[in-house]
Amino acid sequence: MAIKWGSTDQKYPYFVESTNKNPEQAIFVIDGDGYSGRSKDWLQGQVGKGRILHVLNQGEFARFASQGNL
């Protein structure tokens, strides 16, 4: 995973582009409130369009993982 400086909202498109160039599929885990609702909605809208399988917050990821979904 590459590092990108800037606001969280600026990082999402970079991370999506970077993820979609790799052969591995990805789960994005987001936490905190350093992003706008619009950016989170955009990121969730990228699920299934490339290599991103899920966008989850930490609680959702914990439940997802505890159910054996990894």
Residue 3: per-residue pLDDT: 63
Instruction: Enter the tokens of residue 11.
Output: 């990082």
Q: Is pLDDT of 1 > 60? A: no
Residue 4: per-residue pLDDT: 65
Contact of 38 with 12, CB cutoff 8 Å = no
d(CA 53, CA 51): 6
Whether the model clears a pTM of 0.75, i.e. scores above it, the answer is: yes
pLDDT per residue as tens digits for the range 12-48 = 888 999 999 999 999 999 887 778 888 889 999 999 9
Sketch the domain layout of the chain as residue ranges. 8-66
